[in-house]
Chain A
Amino acid sequence: MSLYLILSILGALVLLSSLGRGKRLVVPLAIAGLLGALAVTGMGLGLDHPLLKGMAEFDRYAVLFSCLLLVLGTLVVLLLTNPNERSDIPRVEMAALLLFSLTGGIMMASFAHLVMLFLGVEILSIPLYILAGARKRERAGNEAALKYFITGSFATGFLLFGIALIYGATGSFSTRAIAAWAEANPAVFTPMFHLGLLLMLVGLAFKISAAPFHFWAPDVYEGSPSIVTSFMSTVVKVAAIAAFYRLFSEAFPAAADAWSWVIAAVAALTLAVGNLGALAQRSFKRLMAYSGISHAGFLLLALLSVGPGSAGALWIYAAAYSFATLIAFVSLLAVEAAGGGESLEALSGLGRRNPFLGVCLTISMLSLIGVPPLAGFFGKLFVFGNAVSQRHVVLVVFAVVMSAVGMAYYMRPIIQTWLRPPAGSPFQLSTSQAWVLGIATAFVVLLAAAPVWVMRFL
């Protein structure tokens, strides 16, 4: 409860400051508020409240994912201090919309009632539809906003229809009551219930950009300002997979026979589309979009093997993926600010132009490949381990092959960074970029120490 309250009030305050003269204070205010929210969450202060009764539940899963979302949100908001980004939406409004969106993300990580899930998805998405079109004088920006809005609202329609059918079949919106119903009717194939389940699955698969519902991702990522893209590919992806896992592990575990093969098929397709699609990309931003799709496939693998330890594996994977992705986007922002474009060639000689950035980017790419002892390796280790223990061996073998394909395209930025002649003169990072890079890289390296703790906590 306190978390929703803090974030909503913070968003409103930031918005209010756009009316007065306090514009310079906006980012510090937002950062302070987010850190406060993080502290409150970490200490578990007032998270539970009678008002939440049956609507949301801040269990350990929700707390851990909320913390991850808050850290990622803070880092993205910190990036807002850089003035170079091309965007027609003022920074204050951007900060406010990002905070609102984050509120939705937290709702998705903590819901216990399908109304809260739906509302969370909407509060997460609506500000992003707006932000995706921030470059409103560019065709690519308009295309991004329109594509994101239309496919996104279509997906929301599927989700809503699914919720309606589930309600019709079970008579409840509460995940616990739905799970109880599914347990009481295990053998019965109830068309309304299973169709609802399938439609909700489609809606959420859209949100995590899993194939075959991934079409929007590359174009939307490309047309949005990089800072918004970094938010989409980290906070949104984490919130969506958190909601996906929470829904299926809490409401539908008894119906696993009906959905696990669907998820398996979607995961396999996503892995193939993401990794093979990434090979063909020449733009770094699009490459990261396909990388995001392929990691959605790996995350679905964690969802497939719901059981003891799978939530921890999911968290570690999501954290490793999102911090590494954030580094990639900060690099892109820095290179863009230094006059480079979004192509892979713009990264050439980055190691000599700015060694710190080069090292961070290399660590990020290595972690995305899954090289030990970086965080990405542990993410893959736990996810694959869980999946094998649930007898999804064929799928895991396929995922390992696809990771090997991933190596081919994640090596390309590294090669550009170190083995190609510099594309320009050396440049400095802004203070906030350096901070974000440092923190995110620290997480990518140090998360390797966290798995045991996370596994025990969840």
Chain B
Amino acid sequence: MMSSILFYGLSTLLFAAALLVILSRNPIHSALWLVTAFFAVAGHYVLLNAQFLAAVHVIVYAGAIMVLFLFTIMLLNLNKETEPQHSLLVKLAGLVAGGMLLVVMVGALRRSSAETASDLATVHSGTVGLVETLGKVLFRDFLLPFELSSILFLAALVGAVVLGKKELGE
């Protein structure tokens, strides 16, 4: 009962925040609404008993990634006036394309009832999302991807330095 109230509350918040992200004229407002949306998603993770993901979502997305977003907005000096005005045709095309994807997804997920969804998807009361489980899985089954992801970070770091630094020279 309690959790379903929370679920609907969080979902309403999420939808409202997500809509405001794309409807706000001011990019900074969009970014701040995005933070709200991230918090709502983190709440959903908590409801699914995935504490680690919830923490990651708050720390990385609502924290670090948002800092990047804001810096980008400030770096490009975006504000209300510089927001590009799209022609009606572009807007219409976007609406049609997005709408079609939405229809397909709603149609698809509506028909996926509980019996077709796998039992793994039901983590409500399980221990799948706990930090301890994650730690064990990460270092037993997912060790190789874990180590390889450091290469990804390294490449991103090098890229940030070579593109962001002014004069590097040979």
Please determine if A and B sit in direct contact within the complex, based on CB atoms under 8 angstroms apart.
yes
Contact with B along A120-152 (1 / 0, CB 8 A): 001100110110010010000000000000000
The complex places the Cα of A11 from the Cα of B108 at a distance, in Å, of: 43
Interface-side segment among B40-48, B63-71, B146-154: B146-154
Q: Tell whether, in the assembled complex, residue A195 and residue B104 are in contact, meaning their CB atoms are under 8 Å apart.
A: yes
Considering the complex, give the chain A residue whose CB is closest to the CB of B119: A171
Contact with A along B154-170 (1 / 0, CB 8 A): 11101100110000111
The complex places the Cα of A251 from the Cα of B143 at a distance, in Å, of: 22
Q: Tell whether, in the assembled complex, residue B116 and residue A169 are in contact, meaning their CB atoms are under 8 Å apart.
A: yes
By secondary structure, the B interface counts as: helix
| Residue B83 interfacial (CB < 8 Å) | no
Shortest beta-carbon distance, B106 to chain A, in Å?
Answer: 10
Q: Which residues of B contact A52 (CB under 8 A)?
A: 144
Q: Tell whether, in the assembled complex, residue B170 and residue A23 are in contact, meaning their CB atoms are under 8 Å apart.
A: yes
> Which residue in B121, B148, B159, B168 is a CB contact (below 8 Å) of A119?
B148
> Which residue in A115, A170, A171, A192 is a CB contact (below 8 Å) of B145?
A115
Shortest beta-carbon distance, B166 to chain A, in Å?
Answer: 10
Q: Considering the complex of A and B, which 8 residue pairs feature the smallest CB-CB distances, nearest first?
A: A171-B118, A130-B159, A191-B108, A195-B108, A171-B120, A192-B112, A100-B155, A191-B111
Q: How many A-B residue pairs have CB under 8 A?
A: 102
Considering the complex, give the chain B residue whose CB is closest to the CB of A107: B148
Q: Tell whether, in the assembled complex, residue B144 and residue A190 are in contact, meaning their CB atoms are under 8 Å apart.
A: no
The complex places the Cα of A15 from the Cα of B112 at a distance, in Å, of: 49
> Which residue in A56, A93, A127, A169 is a CB contact (below 8 Å) of B112?
A169
Residues of B whose CB lies within 8 Å of any CB of A are: 104-105, 107-112, 116-121, 141-145, 148-149, 151-152, 154-156, 158-159, 162-163, 168-170
Contact A8/B148 with A96-B158, A130-B163, A195-B104 known, Cβ cut-off 8 Å? yes
Q: Tell whether, in the assembled complex, residue B163 and residue A136 are in contact, meaning their CB atoms are under 8 Å apart.
A: yes
| Residue A353 interfacial (CB < 8 Å) | no
Considering the complex, give the chain A residue whose CB is closest to the CB of B121: A168
Q: Tell whether, in the assembled complex, residue B118 and residue A126 are in contact, meaning their CB atoms are under 8 Å apart.
A: no
The complex places the Cα of A169 from the Cα of B114 at a distance, in Å, of: 11
Q: Tell whether, in the assembled complex, residue A90 and residue B116 are in contact, meaning their CB atoms are under 8 Å apart.
A: no
Contact with B along A170-191 (1 / 0, CB 8 A): 1100000000000000001011
Q: Tell whether, in the assembled complex, residue A129 and residue B159 are in contact, meaning their CB atoms are under 8 Å apart.
A: yes
Shortest beta-carbon distance, B138 to chain A, in Å?
Answer: 11
The complex places the Cα of A55 from the Cα of B145 at a distance, in Å, of: 8
Q: Tell whether, in the assembled complex, residue B116 and residue A190 are in contact, meaning their CB atoms are under 8 Å apart.
A: yes
Q: Tell whether, in the assembled complex, residue B143 and residue A126 are in contact, meaning their CB atoms are under 8 Å apart.
A: no
The complex places the Cα of A4 from the Cα of B146 at a distance, in Å, of: 13
Q: Tell whether, in the assembled complex, residue A123 and residue B170 are in contact, meaning their CB atoms are under 8 Å apart.
A: no
Contact A119/B155 with A90-B170, A169-B112 known, Cβ cut-off 8 Å? no
Q: Which of A101, A167, A169 has the most CB of B within 10 A?
A: A169
Shortest beta-carbon distance, A278 to chain B, in Å?
Answer: 26
Q: Tell whether, in the assembled complex, residue A119 and residue B118 are in contact, meaning their CB atoms are under 8 Å apart.
A: no
The complex places the Cα of A96 from the Cα of B161 at a distance, in Å, of: 13
The complex places the Cα of A23 from the Cα of B168 at a distance, in Å, of: 14
| Residue A54 interfacial (CB < 8 Å) | yes
Known contacts A93-B162, A168-B121, A190-B112; 13 additional CB pairs below 8 A are A15-B154, A15-B158, A54-B141, A55-B142, A90-B169, A97-B158, A119-B152, A123-B155, A133-B163, A168-B117, A169-B117, A191-B109, A195-B108
Q: Which of B107, B109, B116, B120 has the most CB of A within 10 A?
A: B116
Q: Tell whether, in the assembled complex, residue B162 and residue A89 are in contact, meaning their CB atoms are under 8 Å apart.
A: yes
Q: Tell whether, in the assembled complex, residue B118 and residue A123 are in contact, meaning their CB atoms are under 8 Å apart.
A: no
Q: Tell whether, in the assembled complex, residue A11 and residue B144 are in contact, meaning their CB atoms are under 8 Å apart.
A: no
